[in-house]
Amino acid sequence: MEWSEVVAHPSLRDLPFKIELNEYGSVVMTPVKIKHSVHTGRISRLMGQMRAEGEVLVECAIKTGKGTKVADVAWSSPERFGVIENDTDASIAPEVCVEVVSASNTDKEMKGKRELYFESGAQEVWTCDESGGMRFFNAKRELKRSRLFPDFPERIEV
């Protein structure tokens, strides 16, 4: 299955789950808790407040080497947004991709997603754990702070 088919499929439009495709074209669904949604909303608002230029994207579909993955939040510069704004799934990852981690996510899964986002062009990948703790990565290592959003907090308060 291709991402354009997922987007157009009538029975998949209104599901209360995060939907992605794996490398075999199979649909993968992940239910989310309210706290996940709260963290996503707060991260997106903070990003928008800190960087007036560019676009904050919620539930951003990104084409990767192992199917379409959906970053919970992403930030794209105006230049990169000009490239992806009409894509069904972004042909190049936004500069920042954020995953809000659920209890069902494993470290191995999150490491794999980070690698896929970097291979697709992300400059930073952030994770937010269930208690709101933030971690920032570039393609080489974990960072103490984001380089693109140096004032972003280390914890999202709920």
Residue 142: enclosing H or E segment and its boundaries? strand 142-143
Query: What percentage of the chain carries pLDDT values higher than 70?
Result: 80
- The arithmetic mean of pLDDT across residues 80-89, rounded, is 96
Residue 14: per-residue pLDDT: 59
Higher pLDDT among residues 35 and 98, named by residue? 98
Task: Report yes or no on 151 lying in a domain.
Answer: no
Residue 114: enclosing H or E segment and its boundaries? helix 107-119
Task: Report yes or no on 21 lying in a domain.
Answer: no
For 128-154, how does the pLDDT look when each residue is reduced to its tens digit (9 = 90+)? 999 999 999 999 999 999 999 999 999
Residue 36: per-residue pLDDT: 81
Q: What are phi and psi of 89, to 5 degrees?
A: -130, 135
For 7-52, how does the pLDDT look when each residue is reduced to its tens digit (9 = 90+)? 566 655 555 556 555 676 666 656 667 888 899 999 999 999 999 8
- Widest CA span of the chain, in angstroms? 43
Report helix, strand or coil for 157. Answer: coil
**Mean residue pLDDT across the chain:** 88
Q: pLDDT tier at 3 (50, 70, 90 boundaries)? A: low
> How many structural domains comprise the chain?
1
Contacts 24+ apart (CB under 8 A), 140-147: 146/96, 147/123
Q: What are phi and psi of 142, to 5 degrees?
A: -75, 140
State yes or no: pLDDT of 2 exceeds 90: no
Task: Report yes or no on 9 lying in a domain.
Answer: no
State yes or no: pLDDT of 91 exceeds 80: yes
Structural domain for 94, as ranges: 32-143
Task: Report yes or no on 11 lying in a domain.
Answer: no
Task: Report yes or no on 55 lying in a domain.
Answer: yes
CATH of the domain at 49: 3.90.1570.10
Task: Report yes or no on 102 lying in a domain.
Answer: yes
Residue 106: per-residue pLDDT: 87
Task: Report yes or no on 17 lying in a domain.
Answer: no
Query: What percentage of the chain carries pLDDT values higher than 90?
Result: 70
